[in-house]
Amino acid sequence: MSGPSLMDSLFQRTLEDLIKGLRQQLIGEQAFISKALEEIRKEIKSTDLSTKSTALLKLCYLSNLHFHDMSFAAFHALEVLSSPRFSHKKIAYHAISLSFHDSTPVLLLITNHLRKDLTSTNEFEVSLSLQCLSRIANVDLARDLTPEVFTLLSSNKLYVRKRAVAVVLRVFEKYPDSVRVCFKRLVENLENYDPQILSAVVGVFSELACKDPRSYLPLAPEFYKILVDSKSNWISIKVLKIFAKLAPLEPRLANRVVEPICDLMRKTGAKSLLFECVRTVVTSFSEYESAVRLAVGKIREFMVDEDPNLKYLGLHALSIVASKHLWVVSENKEVVIKSLSDPDPNIKIESLRLVMAMVSEHNVAEISKVLVNYALKSDPLFCNEILGSILSTCSRNVYEIIVDFDWYVSLLGEMSRIPHCQMGEEIENQLVDIGLRVKDVRLELVRVARDLLIDPALLGNSFLHRVLSAAAWVSGEYVEFSRNPLELMEALLQPRTSLLPPSIMAIYIQSAFKVLVFCLHTCFVRGGSTAGVSASASYESFDDLSVENGAGSTVAHGQTCTSAPITNESIVNLLKLVELALSPLLGSHDVEVQERARNLLGFVDLIKLEALNSSGQEENDSEQKGVEATKIIRLVHDAFSKELGPVSLSAQGKVPVPDGLTLNENLGDLETICSDIELPSSNTFSFGYPFEEKDVSSFSNLQIKEDSGQSNESTSLLAEHRKRHGLYYLPSGKSEVISNDYPPANDPALQGDNNDTASDLVKLTAESLVPKRKPNHSKPRPVVVKLDEADEKPVAVKHPESRDDSLSGAVRDILFGSEDILPTSSRSNLPSSNRKGKEKQHMITQVESKENVVGDGNSSSRRRKDHSHGKERRHRKKNAEERNETDRKEKESSSNHPRRQKSRQRAEEPLKVPPQTSVIPDFLL
């Protein structure tokens, strides 16, 4: 029966064979691996431990570097673990620490093995098991092995002890109650003079302090001593990390520590330590002017260093400072801007962040200019990084820092022309958004949009399509600001638009529609003398309506009429152009495009039949018809010239449901409701319209009954538009129903209301300080934004509280006196443990008072020499106290288990707790 196993062990492939075979790859990697796995599966079941362990080792290799599952071998690994041989054990531990995790089923079985090895006399075996424990410990393991680890914490073998210290971290994490047992010994190790132990302990504390710094404040004196005395850079770095966490919690501590840190910063030659000092200062000691200055000096050295690592770190440190001391960044502006052209993308991004941190409303223009220049020169990735950060910075908080919107809009246009630009979507959003929000900029906006539209080369760049769609929308919506609508029309209908995707095509057509209506309107209704009495009367009424558009727009109207006279011939040409460009689109496969093209062509047909005939002839002949046509045009124009404002995200919820509208009813019922709404006027749009039906009906109606059909059509078009750009619409046109809650963005009628809100006032005054112009900076949704923030804030506040886990609770317990500093801490503790803490305080203070009388002398022997005399007295007292504490701890820890029981019993008895207010401060330096 020993036959096969013997053969197995004799002819087994070793790990080396496996690797060699894998590298030669005679039969292909996958095939080889699966064959090897097959073998391993067989070998690992062997009874011979050497065979088993070799198989396990091979499996480790495969699982680690080729990611093959090795969970099937979990039990076999345990079997190997039980081998008395060190080599087997080593492989087994290796395999276990690589493959085990919390849900490995055989994890329970490992406890005894670990216990055996932890108590072994061979230090390497102990260290192996500690190493393994540090990786796989779960709650049960941590709980069951706490006593062993505890013993090892005071092992006289350094090799074992430092590992035990490191393992404690994991044990604490998994099983917080172990803190009660082990913590004192851990603290004792802080006083150890061996640098390795010290480094391990400090490492543990720096990890612990990251999670909950407050609990470790009482240990500050020890850390201070280490900081001042330490000669090892590793340790110093860790201690600095601890202080970076502790200092913000206790100003007096910061006062004491800042000097030694600066000393360290001046003296040290090690860059890593230097950097840690700098970072500690800039993160936690930013109030100390001199320290910050020193740190900034070092940062500058870093930044001008040749080594890219140091440069990067310098920039990184600078970005930490930037949040508190902006002057530092502006002082180092040149370096930062220079590093924008660094070959390293990481450095570039870091410096970009810094540059963005410098941006304010005064320098935004010049910084953006510099950045855009850089963007032109740099590679596509970074170029977009730059553009993205410009866009996000400028649009932050509803364009807070932008004063000169004309400039910004032209910047957007410029940016979209940068060859690598991929930020089309963001630019699109901002163009439309600014158009809606900032009224004064529309003139410039239309100009920029026109420039973009007219350039046929841009149509070929698919990244730009989104920008172009915004440009088309803008020029359609604000066509009244255009200098030359005819030119715009040509741009919108140019043949190369066929390169656009259908959705944007549809926007183009829609905009063309708007432009056309505008042209007709200027030609017939306003500019022409053709209009009869009734027409001029209606023109009057229209003017009333258009007052809402603000005075600026009417001025612009005047300009356009003079600058680009629209004659009848040009209209005829225009109509021809439209027909020419759009008739192929009637067969478009995209529903949207087809429908819109059809709409527009239908309109053109209508106009051509009536208006052109009439205007071509003498006016008085066909006055009736002319009026008819102008009426149509007027109505459509009316519909289009509605002001659109931005809408808050939650606006729809605020729309009151009209009486008699039951949202859940059949669509058939809606039909009747719709017909009701049609009648009164085209001014009120309800949000709950069934758009599709409307479209269809209006389209068929179009030819038949002009009047209602027109309004109907415009309604449908607007509705369609609203559907596309729903975000930018006000809930319902200009109806005053909801205007109190959400004033439409730029409605002059409501401007008064708007200005009432304090925040707006502040904004406006702030802007009026700038003499150049006063952009009408409406903030349509202050309420919403604030609500969102308010919702988020409590969550953020709660978060640290919830992290206040049992681990830190336990730590505080040990380090007593936690109640005074942290009211929240006690919440998570059990009442019994709380009282235990108090009791300890009580005892300590008693001992302390005795010690103060007697033991001053002997404690001073350990006192550090380089202390100023002023502090000496206090320090001495503190030192004595601290000694007491540790003495006591030693006593208690040596007899911990029985003591715990006892103290809990005693906690039941009424205690006279001394006033606790001054306990903690005494422990500080």
Partner 1 sequence: IHFVLLISRQGKVRLTKWYSTYSKKERSKVLRELSGVILTRGPRLCNFVEWRGLKVVYKRYASLYFCMCMDPDGNELEILEIIHHYVEVLDRYFGSVCELDLIYNFHKAYYILDEILISGELQESSKRTVVRSVAAQDSLVEAAKEETGSTISNIIALAAK
72 interacts with partner 1 by CB under 8 A:
no
Question: Out of 40, 74, 130, 632, which residue is the one contacting partner 1 (CB under 8 A)?
Answer: 130
Q: Which residue has the tokens 């894998």?
A: 22
Give the residue with the Cβ less far from partner 1, 16 or 659: 16
Question: Out of 44, 60, 190, 636, which residue is the one contacting partner 1 (CB under 8 A)?
Answer: 60
Q: What are phi and psi of 828, to 5 degrees?
A: -80, -15
Question: Out of 311, 466, 521, 840, which residue is the one contacting partner 1 (CB under 8 A)?
Answer: 311
Give the residue with the Cβ less far from partner 1, 10 or 26: 10
The overall longest dimension of the chain from CA atoms, in Å, is 123
Compute the least distance from the CB of residue 208 to partner 1, in Å.
Answer: 12
Compute the least distance from the CB of residue 311 to partner 1, in Å.
Answer: 7
Question: Out of 76, 180, 185, 241, which residue is the one contacting partner 1 (CB under 8 A)?
Answer: 241
Q: How far is CA 761 from CA 613, 743, 770, in A?
A: 54, 15, 15
Looking at the DSSP bridge assignments, the partners of residue 438 are: 777
Question: Out of 25, 27, 69, 259, which residue is the one contacting partner 1 (CB under 8 A)?
Answer: 69
192 interacts with partner 1 by CB under 8 A:
no
61 interacts with partner 1 by CB under 8 A:
yes
Q: What angle do CA 138, 142, 146 make, to 5 degrees?
A: 175
17 interacts with partner 1 by CB under 8 A:
no
What is the C-alpha separation between 406 and 391, in angstroms, rounded? 15
Q: How far is CA 648 from CA 22, 396, 784, in A?
A: 63, 16, 7
Give the residue with the Cβ less far from partner 1, 36 or 472: 36
Q: Which window, 202-210, 540-548, 642-650, 847-855, contacts partner 1 (CB under 8 A)?
A: 202-210
Q: Which amino acid, residue 816?
A: F
64 interacts with partner 1 by CB under 8 A:
yes
Within 10 angstroms of residue 736's Cβ, the number of other Cβ atoms is 9
683 interacts with partner 1 by CB under 8 A:
no
Structural contact between residues 345 and 382, judged by C-beta atoms closer than 8 angstroms: yes
Question: Out of 186, 303, 313, 492, which residue is the one contacting partner 1 (CB under 8 A)?
Answer: 313
88 interacts with partner 1 by CB under 8 A:
yes
Question: Out of 12, 80, 81, 90, which residue is the one contacting partner 1 (CB under 8 A)?
Answer: 90
When computed from its CA atoms, the radius of gyration of the chain, rounded to whole angstroms, is: 39
Question: Out of 25, 34, 87, 462, which residue is the one contacting partner 1 (CB under 8 A)?
Answer: 87
State whether the Cα torsion 62-66-72-78 is positive or negative.
positive
Nearest to 626 by CA among 636, 641, 616, 637: 616
Give the residue with the Cβ less far from partner 1, 261 or 611: 261
What is the C-alpha separation between 442 and 478, in angstroms, rounded? 7
Question: Out of 82, 120, 134, 613, which residue is the one contacting partner 1 (CB under 8 A)?
Answer: 134
390 interacts with partner 1 by CB under 8 A:
no
What is the C-alpha separation between 734 and 559, in angstroms, rounded? 27
Give the residue with the Cβ less far from partner 1, 176 or 203: 203
Give the residue with the Cβ less far from partner 1, 339 or 588: 339
What is the C-alpha separation between 707 and 71, in angstroms, rounded? 79
752 interacts with partner 1 by CB under 8 A:
no
What is the C-alpha separation between 106 and 200, in angstroms, rounded? 30
What is the C-alpha separation between 475 and 442, in angstroms, rounded? 9
764 interacts with partner 1 by CB under 8 A:
no
Q: What are phi and psi of 120, to 5 degrees?
A: -65, 160
Give the residue with the Cβ less far from partner 1, 90 or 722: 90
94 interacts with partner 1 by CB under 8 A:
yes
What is the DSSP-derived secondary structure letter of residue 777? Answer: B
Give the residue with the Cβ less far from partner 1, 83 or 686: 83
What is the C-alpha separation between 729 and 655, in angstroms, rounded? 13
Compute the least distance from the CB of residue 171 to partner 1, in Å.
Answer: 10
Structural contact between residues 20 and 66, judged by C-beta atoms closer than 8 angstroms: no
Q: For 466, left (φ over 0), alpha (ψ -120 to 50), or beta?
A: alpha
Question: Out of 203, 221, 476, 485, which residue is the one contacting partner 1 (CB under 8 A)?
Answer: 203
Compute the least distance from the CB of residue 103 to partner 1, in Å.
Answer: 10
Give the residue with the Cβ less far from partner 1, 110 or 717: 110
Compute the least distance from the CB of residue 506 to partner 1, in Å.
Answer: 39
State whether the Cα torsion 144-147-153-155 is positive or negative.
negative
Find the binding residues for partner 1 in span 258-287 (CB under 8 A): 271-272, 275-276, 279
Compute the least distance from the CB of residue 131 to partner 1, in Å.
Answer: 5
200 interacts with partner 1 by CB under 8 A:
yes
396 interacts with partner 1 by CB under 8 A:
no
670 interacts with partner 1 by CB under 8 A:
no
What is the DSSP-derived secondary structure letter of residue 589? Answer: S
Question: Out of 1, 10, 457, 758, which residue is the one contacting partner 1 (CB under 8 A)?
Answer: 10
Q: Does residue 398 sit in helix, strand or coil?
A: helix
Q: What are phi and psi of 605, to 5 degrees?
A: -55, -50
Provide the mask over 204-233, with x wherever binding to partner 1 is found by CB under 8 A and - wherever it is not: x--x--x---------------------x-
Site size toward partner 1 (CB under 8 A) is 64
Secondary structure (DSSP) of 135-195? HH--HHHHHHHHHHHHHHHT-S-HHHHHHHHHHHHHHHHH-TTHHHHHHHHHHHHHT---H
Q: Does residue 438 sit in helix, strand or coil?
A: strand
State in Å, rounded, how far the first CA of the chain is from the last one: 74
Nearest to 725 by CA among 445, 407, 510: 510
346 interacts with partner 1 by CB under 8 A:
yes
Give the residue with the Cβ less far from partner 1, 98 or 499: 98
Provide the mask over 163-182, with x wherever binding to partner 1 is found by CB under 8 A and - wherever it is not: x--xx-xx------------
Question: Out of 76, 113, 162, 836, which residue is the one contacting partner 1 (CB under 8 A)?
Answer: 162
388 interacts with partner 1 by CB under 8 A:
no
Structural contact between residues 855 and 880, judged by C-beta atoms closer than 8 angstroms: yes
67 interacts with partner 1 by CB under 8 A:
yes
Binding site for partner 1 (CB under 8 A): 2, 6, 9-10, 15-16, 19, 23, 50, 57, 60-61, 64-65, 67, 69, 85-88, 90-91, 94, 101-102, 124, 130-131, 134-135, 159, 162-163, 166-167, 169-170, 195-196, 199-200, 203-204, 207, 210, 232, 234, 237, 241, 271-272, 275-276, 279, 308-309, 311-313, 343-347
